[in-house]
DNA sequence: TAGATAATCAACACCATGTACAATAAATGG
DNA sequence: CCATTTATTGTACATGGTGTTGATTATCTA
């Protein structure tokens, strides 16, 4: 269930729901062809068969539209992971990672588009904040360690995850989610030792 | 020595050199204030006190200009690191990391701008490619390991490095370069074990 | 100094933009 | 089902950046 549908459960006018939907779909279609800077509001509306005035009723510009799409996706991920709440870094972290990868796989086209091709840096930051909020990564819990180093370590792991996921998407997600999750887990816990065991 | 100056050593017309310089400086100045999408060619030229026709003689648009600036920086980093050529992952890697951090510190304003605020994803990719080309990170050398996993591991470490560096820049590079290099080195080699020694 | 080359200037058509307002269509709540 | 509210449409308009042209001027290099 998407965020749009959830909001719609309240009392959003069907017309608004439809307009936003066709606008988003058209925009995403265009985003597959060219960078956002080359996409005009006029052509989004033409493709969506919607009046330009309608666009301005809901969005400021293309970038606002992009951010709303990204924001919806972020909310959706949060809902998807709402059930899981590991408060420590134990064996369930690998499962959590797998869960995330499964979600990404289910929304691969969009995520790949936003993360690899035509997204922006703020989207990556949002994803990293999700990871931070989930306390999925261990480094925030350390007590006797340097606070600053812990933050750096977290960012190292989080950005590492994103990097692997981006390539995984580019590779068409050939590698099973479970294996990929395991690989990421090992990289976090053991670093290169996994590859050069002593 | 910048790439521009190097090119100039051949035989680039002084006028061209000057035009490109003022255009770049003006653009960077504007980039500190607002995102690239809001920057017009007209205002770049106004600030640079250069005719708009001159801009079009050298660049296609703002994005082309940005990419040339990033590309120059990348070339500059390559030159800077040209002397160092570690072909294996040994103790000199930490020194190499420190060398890179020192370079970044010397060009902090620009790097922070391109990496944190208003750059694009391709710039990060370029940086990662530099790391790959340097064979600074170990995972490509493994023989008995899965090729695919090695690539993922490399991307994990490379993106992790970028993540730490970005935050380090945001923090105003308070932490000494040597300590930061050491931290990154430990994260690569030992993962979270550094923080949770067994 | 002479020739080559770059920058300037003015002018131009073009098109996306953002806004305004009236008219129309559709949805909601009773 | 009707009356009211609300969204969308259509039109029009001023604005401003764009990209290109050709001629002129300024500057560099050899």
Lowest mean pLDDT among A77-91, B48-62, B126-140: A77-91
A145: left (phi over 0), alpha (psi -120 to 50) or beta: beta
Q: What is each CA distance from B150 to A191, B85, B89, B145, B193, in whole angstroms?
A: 12, 21, 14, 7, 20
In terms of Cβ atoms closer than 10 Å to its own Cβ (0-12, 13-18, 19+), residue A70 is buried
- C-alpha distances (whole Å) from B92 to each of A6, A191, B31 are 54, 18, 36
pLDDT of residue A133: 78
Cβ-proximal residues to B183 (8 Å cutoff; 6+ apart), any chain: A149, A152, A153, B164, B175
pLDDT in tens, A158-168: 999 999 999 99
Q: Look up residue B46 and give its two tokens.
A: 């106004």
Q: Is the pLDDT reported for residue A101 higher than 70? A: yes
- Domains of chain A from N-terminus onward: 3-64 (1.10.357.10), 84-194 (1.10.357)
Q: Do B193 and A194 touch (CB under 8 A)?
A: no
Q: What is the pLDDT of residue A1?
A: 42
Local confidence band at A83 (pLDDT 50, 70, 90 cut-offs): low
The model's confidence at residue B189, banded by pLDDT at 50, 70 and 90, is confident
- Which residues, 6+ apart, have CB-to-CB distance to A8 below 8 Å? A17
CA-CA distance, B77 to B43, in Å (whole number)? Answer: 30
Residue A100 pLDDT: 92
**Subunit contact A142:B196, Cβ cutoff 8 A:** yes
Q: Do A149 and B183 touch (CB under 8 A)?
A: yes
Whether A194 and A167 have beta carbons less than 8 Å apart is answered as no
H or E segment at A124? helix A121-134
> Which residue, among B139, B87, B12, has the nearest Cα to A183 in the 3D structure?
B139
- The fraction of chain B above a pLDDT of 90, given in percent, is 61
B93 pLDDT tier (thresholds 50, 70, 90): confident
pLDDT at position B135: 63
The reported pLDDT for the residue numbered B81 is 82
Average pLDDT, chain A: 85
Q: What percent of chain A is predicted at pLDDT more than 70?
A: 82
User: A57-61, A121-125, B3-7 — which one is most confidently predicted on average?
Assistant: A57-61
User: What span, in angstroms and rounded, lies between the C-alpha atoms of B183 and B170?
Assistant: 17
- Residue A49 distance to chain B (closest CA, Å): 26
A20 burial type by CB count under 10 A (0-12 exposed, 13-18 middle, 19+ buried): buried
Percent share of chain B, pLDDT over 70: 82
Alpha carbon distances (Å) from A154 to A30, A189, B184, B192: 35, 12, 12, 9
Question: Which residues from B are below 8 Å from A184, CB to CB?
Answer: 156
SS (H, E, C) A49-85: CCCHHHHHHHCCCHHHHHHHHHHHHHHHHHHHHCCCC
Contacts with A41 from chain B: Cβ below 8 Å: none
Contact B185, B96 (CB under 8 A): no
Distance from CA of A117 to the nearest CA of B (A): 8
Q: Does residue A174 approach strand C to less than 7 Å at its CB? A: no
Residue B88: band (very low, low, confident or very high) from pLDDT cuts 50, 70, 90: very low
Q: Is the pLDDT of residue A143 over 60?
A: no
> Integer distance in angstroms from CA B12 to C1' D26?
17
State whether residue B61 is helix, strand or coil.
coil
* pLDDT exceeds cutoff 50 at A8: no
Residue A75 to residue A59: CA distance in whole angstroms? 19
Q: Are A170 and A162 in contact (CB under 8 A)?
A: no
Distance CA B150, CA A187 (A): 11
**Mean pLDDT in residue range A28-35:** 95
Quick one: pLDDT at residue B138?
52
Q: CA of A115: which chain B residue's CA is closest?
A: B121
Nearest partner of A23 among A10, A56, A38, judged by Cα: A56
- Nearest-angstrom CA–CA distance, A136 and A3: 23
Q: How confident is the model at residue B51 (pLDDT cuts 50, 70, 90)?
A: very high
Q: Would you call A193 and B188 a contact, using CB atoms and an 8 Å cutoff? A: no
Distance CA A17, CA A6 (A): 11
**pLDDT score recorded for residue B20:** 98
* Higher pLDDT, residue A121 or A35: A35
- Three-class secondary structure of residue B136 per DSSP: coil
Q: How far is the CA of A37 from the C1' of C15 (A)?
A: 16
Is residue B166's pLDDT more than 70?
A: yes
pLDDT recorded at residue A3: 42
């Amino acid at each position: 269930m998407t965020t749009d549908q959830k909001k719609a459960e309240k009392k959003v006018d069907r017309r608004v729901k439809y307009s936003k939907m066709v606008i988003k779909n058209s925009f995403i279609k265009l985003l597959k062809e060219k960078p956002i800077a080359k996409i005009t509001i006029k052509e989004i509306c033409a493709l969506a068969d919607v009046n330009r005035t309608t666009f301005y009723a809901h969005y400021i510009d293309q970038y606002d539209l992009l951010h709303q799409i990204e924001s919806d996706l972020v909310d959706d991920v949060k809902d998807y992971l709402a059930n899981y709440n590991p408060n420590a870094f134990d064996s369930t972290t690998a499962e959590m990672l797998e869960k995330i990868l499964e979600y990404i796989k289910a929304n691969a086209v969009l995520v790949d588009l936003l993360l690899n091709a035509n997204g922006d840096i703020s989207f990556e930051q949002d994803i990293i904040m999700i990871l931070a909020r989930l306390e999925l990564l261990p480094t925030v819990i350390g007590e006797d360690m340097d606070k600053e180093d812990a933050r750096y370590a977290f960012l190292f792991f989080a950005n590492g995850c994103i990097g692997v996921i981006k390539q995984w998407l580019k590779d068409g997600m050939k590698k099973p989610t479970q294996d990929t999750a395991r690989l990421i887990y090992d990289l976090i816990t053991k670093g290169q030792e996994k590859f050069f065991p002593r």
